[in-house]
């Protein structure tokens, strides 16, 4: 039941990412979510039995689904790291190819040393007393814990620097990553208890498996689904604010065009700019040009100056840092540039 619910959550995530990230060129998160969704779908009992039957009915379906899960987590970790500029060395190592290669090779080698028998949907319960079964599970969940630890680090950073609605996906990812790490620890503890024969302790820890699995996938899916929604909402609010400022600034810009020689020729090209933020930037620069040009007597009121400052702050809100992390400035052009207008 839990596996079916988790698989459903993941397919909902895939659908939401396809809808809200369809215009983005980077599809890393979408591909990762799709891979993990397939892996978790293969863990649904009916699907697993059917797939394993096609593979020879000796639990090769387990290796196939777990391999997909490891690869999906790798791509998910890489996508989360690429989403921001904060990339500490330990995070890069955790989501690097050597860690992925080690996990895949380790689980594959352990798998082929297991006395697997016929298809079973309770693989760990039936075979977990074997040392190589414990090794197989420990390797896989150690890798899962490492990836989720890297994601937790990135989510904590995002939560510290985020503002407003940006805190929502960061908080969801924090809870999801923490739950996933706790799940990994619980599974490894169960593996060690099983292989050492401490079945009573294993059963007591296993009570946390279902809730932690559900919490981890629920909050991780919610976090990754909400991220593009928040981004889209912020972009819509910003576009509306840009259009409002442009409307309020237009009359002042037209005055600047009329009084400053040369700017009138830029009016037609400015009005043809489709990107409203680029148009707003150009209008601000041209108004500032007119204000400092000694050849004109263009003066603005205190209200106009306040509006210009609001417009500049608005632009700096999205592109207010250069490559060195210093605030960008909406500056007037040099005298040579103004003369060429």
251 vs 275: which has the higher pLDDT: 251
Task: Estimate the share of the chain in helix, then strand, then coil, as percent rounded to the nearest 5.
Answer: 75, 0, 20
pLDDT of residue 275: 78
pLDDT of residue 234: 82
Residues in contact with 264: Cβ distance below 8 Å, sequence separation at least 6, in sequence order: 257, 258
* Four-point Cα dihedral 327, 328, 329, 331, nearest 10: 160
pLDDT band at 321 (very low <50, low <70, confident <90, very high): very low
- Asked whether the predicted pLDDT for residue 39 surpasses 50, the reply is yes
Contacts 24+ apart (CB under 8 A), 123-131: 123/59, 123/62, 124/190, 124/191, 124/194, 128/190, 128/191, 128/194, 128/195, 129/194, 129/195, 129/197, 130/195, 131/195
Give the separation between CA 124 and CA 226, rounded to whole angstroms: 34
Compute how many other C-beta atoms are within 10 angstroms of the C-beta atom of residue 322.
10
pLDDT band at 183 (very low <50, low <70, confident <90, very high): very high
Compute how many other C-beta atoms are within 10 angstroms of the C-beta atom of residue 302.
7
pLDDT of residue 233: 85
pLDDT of residue 31: 87
- Do 120 and 59 form a contact (C-beta atoms < 8 A)? yes
pLDDT of residue 287: 85
Most confident of 1-5, 110-114, 223-227, 253-257: 110-114
Q: What is the mean pLDDT of residues 177-202?
A: 95
pLDDT band at 263 (very low <50, low <70, confident <90, very high): low
- Do 76 and 94 form a contact (C-beta atoms < 8 A)? no
93 vs 144: which has the higher pLDDT: 144
pLDDT of residue 261: 58
List, for residues 138-168, the tens digit of each pLDDT value.
999 999 999 999 899 888 988 888 777 888 9
Question: Helical H runs in 162-208?
Answer: 167-195, 199-206
Q: Report pTM.
A: 0.75
Give the separation between CA 111 and CA 122, rounded to whole angstroms: 15
List, for residues 100-141, the tens digit of each pLDDT value.
999 999 999 999 999 988 999 888 988 989 999 999 999 999
- Asked whether the predicted pLDDT for residue 238 surpasses 90, the reply is no
List, for residues 48-79, the tens digit of each pLDDT value.
999 999 998 899 999 999 999 999 999 988 88
How far apart are the two ends of the chain, measured CA to CA in Å?
69
pLDDT of residue 111: 95
Most confident of 11-25, 32-46, 253-267, 295-309: 32-46
pLDDT of residue 80: 78
pLDDT of residue 184: 96
pLDDT of residue 69: 95
Residues in contact with 19: Cβ distance below 8 Å, sequence separation at least 6, in sequence order: none
Give the separation between CA 75 and CA 166, rounded to whole angstroms: 23
Mean model confidence pLDDT for the chain: 84
Positive or negative CA dihedral for 314, 315, 316, 319? positive
Give the separation between CA 331 and CA 318, rounded to whole angstroms: 16
| Inter-axis angle of helices 28-42 and 209-259, nearest 10 | 160
Percent of the chain with pLDDT over 70: 86
339 vs 323: which has the higher pLDDT: 339
Length of the chain: 341
- Region at 32 (left for phi over 0; alpha for psi -120 to 50; beta for the rest): alpha
Residue 84: alpha-carbon gap to chain centroid:
9
Query: What domains does the chain contain, in order, with CATH numbers?
Result: 2-234 (1.20.1070), 260-339 (no CATH)
- Region at 262 (left for phi over 0; alpha for psi -120 to 50; beta for the rest): left
């Amino acid at each position: 039941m839990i596996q079916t619910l988790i698989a459903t959550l993941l397919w909902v995530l895939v659908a939401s990412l396809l809808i809200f990230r369809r215009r983005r060129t980077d599809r890393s998160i979408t591909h990762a979510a799709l891979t993990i969704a397939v892996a978790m779908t293969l863990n649904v009992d009916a699907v697993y039995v059917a797939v394993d039957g096609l593979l020879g009915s000796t639990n090769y379906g387990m290796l196939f689904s777990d391999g997909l899960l490891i690869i999906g987590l790798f791509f998910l970790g890489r996508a989360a790291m690429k989403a921001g500029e904060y990339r500490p060395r330990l995070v890069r190592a955790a989501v690097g190819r050597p860690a992925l290669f080690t996990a895949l090779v380790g689980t594959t080698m352990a798998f082929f040393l297991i006395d697997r028998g016929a298809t079973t949907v309770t693989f760990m319960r039936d075979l977990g007393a074997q040392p190589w079964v414990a090794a197989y599970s420990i390797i896989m969940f150690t890798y899962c814990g490492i990836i989720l630890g890297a994601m937790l680090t990135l989510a904590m950073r995002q939560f510290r620097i985020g503002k407003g609605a940006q805190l929502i996906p960061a908080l969801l990812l924090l809870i999801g990553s923490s739950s996933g790490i706790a799940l990994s620890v619980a599974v490894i503890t169960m593996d060690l208890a099983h292989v050492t024969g401490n079945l009573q302790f294993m059963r007591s820890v296993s009570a946390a498996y279902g809730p932690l699995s559900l919490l981890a996938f629920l909050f991780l899916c919610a976090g990754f689904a909400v991220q593009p929604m928040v981004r889209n909402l912020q972009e819509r609010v910003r576009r509306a604010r840009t259009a409002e400022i442009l409307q309020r600034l237009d009359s002042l810009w037209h005055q600047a065009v009329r009084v400053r020689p040369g700017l009138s020729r830029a009016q037609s090209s400015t009005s043809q700019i489709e990107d409203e933020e680029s148009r707003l930037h150009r209008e601000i620069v041209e108004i500032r040009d007119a204000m400092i040009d000694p050849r004109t007597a263009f003066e603005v009121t205190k209200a106009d100056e306040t509006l210009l400052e609001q417009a500049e702050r608005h632009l700096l809100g999205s592109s207010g840092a250069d490559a060195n992390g210093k605030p960008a400035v909406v500056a007037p052009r040099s005298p040579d540039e103004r003369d060429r207008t």
